[in-house]
Structure 1
């Protein structure tokens, strides 16, 4: 059964991702969404559960959603969320040939 995180945990992660990592959201969408000549617009992390993260974005005037599974497999605790989002970011950088920034 998929682990569901408490609403306050989800809200805090989304606030952080959509406030401090807007460029990372777009990078993740560019790396994992189906290829398109249209640029990614308004990429936002909209949710997550124990299986993966969910992003919404607009491209070519069409709104879409993208689910990216956690690279390390299913998770069920708050510290694992950060670890897995960072892993998705690193994979996105590798797919796009972008140098990832250091992680604190």
Structure 2
């Protein structure tokens, strides 16, 4: 069973991703989802096994996207950042985009 993070951790990470990293959410959705050009993507949750996004297509249709953590299962808040950065780096590699420094 995947590790469940507490409400404070979920709120902190989701708030940060959806206010400060909206472009990264779209990049992750482009690289790992079925739509190569989503209009929007919002991180909706995560657990010890991966992250969840709501992806909105240009026609307004919304789909769920689940992406496993690249490094495997996690159980500590500090590991969430590491895994999201790894997803970002992998998304850049898949899309042929130079990642920004971390």
Partner of 1:79: 78
Shift of 1:57: 1.3
Partner of 1:7: 7
Whether 2:83 is the aligned partner of 1:93: answer no
Q: How many residues align?
A: 101
Q: Give the TM-score normalised by the residue count of structure 1.
A: 0.93
CA offset digits 1:32-59 (Å, max 9, x no partner): 00145xx312211010000000010111
Shift of 1:61: 2.4
Unaligned runs of 5+ residues in structure 1 are: none
CA offset digits 1:44-92 (Å, max 9, x no partner): 1010000000010111321101000000000000110000000000000
Unaligned runs of 5+ residues in structure 2 are: none
Whether 2:54 is the aligned partner of 1:56: answer yes
Distance 1:15 1:62 in 2: 23
Moved over 6 A (4+): none
Distance 2:13 2:99 in 1: 20
Which secondary structure does the structure 1 equivalent of 2:39 belong to?
strand
